[in-house]
Structure 1
Amino acid sequence: MNKRYSRITGTGSYLPPRRVTNQDLANELAQRGIETSDAWIVERTGIHARHFADPQVTSSDLALEASRRALEAAGCQAQDLDLIIFATSTPDMVFPSAACILQNKLGANGCPAFDVQAVCSGFVYALTVADAMIRAGSARRALVVGAEVFSRILDFNDRTTCVLFGDGAGAVVLEASDTPGILASDLHADGKYVDILCVPGTVSGGRVLGDPLLKMDGQAVFKLAVGVLEKAARAALDKAGLQDVDIDWLIPHQANIRIMQGTAKKLKLPLEKLVVTVDQHGNTSAASIPLALDHAVRSGQVRPGQHVMLEGVGGGFTWGAVLLKM
């Protein structure tokens, strides 16, 4: 009996139309008496622009467009899906899940659908879960999505965080295969770092308790991120029996160009092997890896047969890596 694996057969992404440059953001912040500039943002983050969704647009709306494109690329219909996993920290509502809302919009009703909440590591977590379910025989064709409207939870009085994030969605179709696609994964979390990146608010009695806006200790996040990303990537390589030199492309969570370049250097990878979209998308949290993957596939960077390392780190603190063969 052939061993069962999973492979990515289609990718898709979507960005809301409203593009906000650093200068646009600097002008908005100036009206609040907060000083920043394009040069200041670029020097610290590598970000030149990001996209913000209109007020009525939800994460599932963005995910719908990305999912349709991924399904088209895979040559299948929504009705062919038997699993939907949606990674997000900004769901449409408290419940039901964004996955169930997306399922109905797609017309894929009936299959299991649920959200994964691991913040910026969410897509790596979701992809690992989908791979495990396919390998176990619980599904044959899964839609794995990352989508965010982080603009809703930003404090525009804090220039150290509001300049970093954007909105968007990315998706992949993952299908059962006789040949390996997802080669290995490595996931971790450490709750003692909860306070360095969080949105410390909740809903109670119809009111918001705490603070519903993003808080981050940037230096603490940077210090932790580079180290754990390298370890996760090496662990995935070890599980797959491969080495640094076997990586054709590194697609990290698009958080900050310094973190991304630092990880590439620790893995002894030339920066030419680093897929970068943070300059135009900002940090789109759970959407950033599938957005970057789709961009790289459609631009011709990532090609069939190549080894791609995906890795993410986010609030929780969560981190992980997935090594795949396209």
Structure 2
Amino acid sequence: MSATNTDPINLTIRGTGSYRPRQTLESSQIDIRFDWAPGTCLSRYGIETRHVAAEDETTSFMAAEAAKLALDMAGYSASDLDMILGGCGVMEQPIPSTAVLVQDRLGLGRSGIPAYDVNATCLGFLQALDLAAMQISCGRARRVLVFSSDIASVGLDWSHPEAAAIFGDGAAAVVVEAGGNGAVLASDFRTYGEGRDACVLAAGGTRVNPARGIKPGEDRFRMDGAQAYRVASRHLPRFVARLLRRADKAMDQLDCVIPHQASALALEHAAEMLRLASGRVVDIFAGTGNQIAASIPTALDHAVRSGRFKRGDTGLLIGTSAGISIGGAVVRL
């Protein structure tokens, strides 16, 4: 998101949708797996259940299902779209992009409408939403589908349960359109590469790949939560203050705060750091876990469908990601 964006962009989120895989993994099952006392996983990590994708529930399949729900809420068909932007933390495959696969799944494979991905790990949705806003503001698009879909379960290292236990799979999408009463009032994105080693999945790119051989553990996600928290916490309060100034809003003027569902502890710390009343923070972590980039739009869909985020309301979408990066957007629904 542009660090210099100060002018509101008039667009409206017409529809939201989310998809959770059929299979669930209960925290009680993790207790059994590690021979922990009953209730240990829940008390330690604050998670009750998360969803795990089956073989047929691919990244693009889940994204397309979420997109259909968003289109249905918006009252549109897929043919009404003129752009598709994917913001997944991890792509379904390196080439072609996940957005291309979703375009085809929606029956638009012969349409020619632009479909491509942006990547900012857990902040992929916010980056894709910001790009959609910019495309709309300069007249290159009118109606855009933005989705995030992630299958964290395929890359977890269960020898480190403090990281593996908190992740879940899922997808979410929104349909945004030029005009209406909605707006992106302000957005910002900052990266602090000093934290680049805090969250890493080494394999899958050009440096670590099957052709050259993958060492044990390089194909599994590893995380140093303490390091990630240290880097993010130094910058988060100032980041939010700057973002709200750009939006010409005070914290108490926000109707809803929708954060990345990173972990139960991260949500608690963020609320304390920003002095937020818990009732204004959308917290669905206990039932979903950390869904990487799908986390924020899934929480957004929950907030919209539950009535916590209504037409005319102003909300803050906020999160951190590998990098370490911090991103946020103040939006009027």
TM-score, normalised via structure 1 length: 0.92
> What per-residue deviation string (whole Å, max 9, x for no partner) do you get for residues 277-319 of structure 1?
1100000010011101111111121111111110121112222
| Structure 2 residue ranges without an equivalent (≥5) | 1-7
> 1:209 offset after TM fit, Å?
3.0
1:68 aligned residue: 68
User: How far apart in 2 are the matches of 1:38 and 1:94?
Assistant: 40
Contact 2:28 2:39 survives alignment (8 Å): no
Q: Secondary structure at the match of 1:88?
A: coil
Q: Which residue of 26, 32, 35 corresponds with 2:31?
A: 26
Contact 1:88 1:122 survives alignment (8 Å): yes
User: How far apart in 2 are the matches of 1:280 and 1:37?
Assistant: 21
Q: Which moved more, 1:233-242 or 1:164-173?
A: 233-242
Q: Secondary structure at the match of 1:188?
A: strand
Q: Which moved more, 1:147-156 or 1:190-199?
A: 190-199
> 1:140 offset after TM fit, Å?
0.4
Contact 2:31 2:40 survives alignment (8 Å): no
Q: Which moved more, 1:97-106 or 1:18-27?
A: 18-27
Q: Which residue of 168, 173, 183 corresponds with 1:181?
A: 183
User: How far apart in 2 are the matches of 1:37 and 1:107?
Assistant: 49
1:218 aligned residue: 225
User: How far apart in 2 are the matches of 1:208 and 1:310?
Assistant: 40
1:142 aligned residue: 144
Structure 1 60/124 Cα, relative in aligned 2: closer, same or farther at 3 Å?
same
1:56 aligned residue: 56
Q: Which residue of 240, 251, 262 corresponds with 2:247?
A: 240
2:115 aligned residue: 113
User: How far apart in 1 are the matches of 2:179 and 2:38?
Assistant: 47
**1:9 paired to 2:14:** yes
Q: Secondary structure at the match of 2:144?
A: strand
User: How far apart in 1 are the matches of 2:37 and 2:85?
Assistant: 38
> What per-residue deviation string (whole Å, max 9, x for no partner) do you get for residues 7-31 of structure 1?
211100000010111111232x33x
Q: Which moved more, 1:253-262 or 1:175-184?
A: 175-184
User: How far apart in 2 are the matches of 1:291 and 1:190?
Assistant: 26
Q: Secondary structure at the match of 2:18?
A: strand
Q: Secondary structure at the match of 2:39?
A: helix
> 1:60 offset after TM fit, Å?
0.6
1:154 aligned residue: 156
Q: Secondary structure at the match of 1:145?
A: strand
1:230 aligned residue: 237
The one-letter amino acid of 1:220's match is: Q
Contact 1:121 1:314 survives alignment (8 Å): yes
User: How far apart in 2 are the matches of 1:227 and 1:84?
Assistant: 35
The one-letter amino acid of 2:80's match is: D
1:101 aligned residue: 101
The one-letter amino acid of 1:303's match is: K
User: How far apart in 2 are the matches of 1:197 and 1:282?
Assistant: 17
> 1:172 offset after TM fit, Å?
0.5
**1:322 paired to 2:329:** yes
How many percent identity over aligned positions?
Answer: 35
Equivalenced residue count is 319
1:272 aligned residue: 279
> 1:205 offset after TM fit, Å?
5.5
User: How far apart in 2 are the matches of 1:83 and 1:307?
Assistant: 25
> 1:122 offset after TM fit, Å?
1.0
> What per-residue deviation string (whole Å, max 9, x for no partner) do you get for residues 243-273 of structure 1?
1111111110001122212222332221011
Tell me the C-alpha RMSD between the 2 structures.
1.8
Contact 2:53 2:151 survives alignment (8 Å): yes
User: How far apart in 2 are the matches of 1:4 and 1:164?
Assistant: 35
**1:286 paired to 2:293:** yes
Contact 1:229 1:321 survives alignment (8 Å): no
> What per-residue deviation string (whole Å, max 9, x for no partner) do you get for residues 64-98 of structure 1?
11000000111111111111111113222111000
Aligned positions of 1:243-254 closer than 5 A: 243-254=250-261
> 1:4 offset after TM fit, Å?
6.0
| Structure 1 residue ranges without an equivalent (≥5) | none
User: How far apart in 1 are the matches of 2:135 and 2:22?
Assistant: 35
User: How far apart in 2 are the matches of 1:127 and 1:4?
Assistant: 12
User: How far apart in 2 are the matches of 1:205 and 1:199?
Assistant: 14
> What per-residue deviation string (whole Å, max 9, x for no partner) do you get for residues 219-241 of structure 1?
11222334434333322211111
User: How far apart in 2 are the matches of 1:113 and 1:303?
Assistant: 29
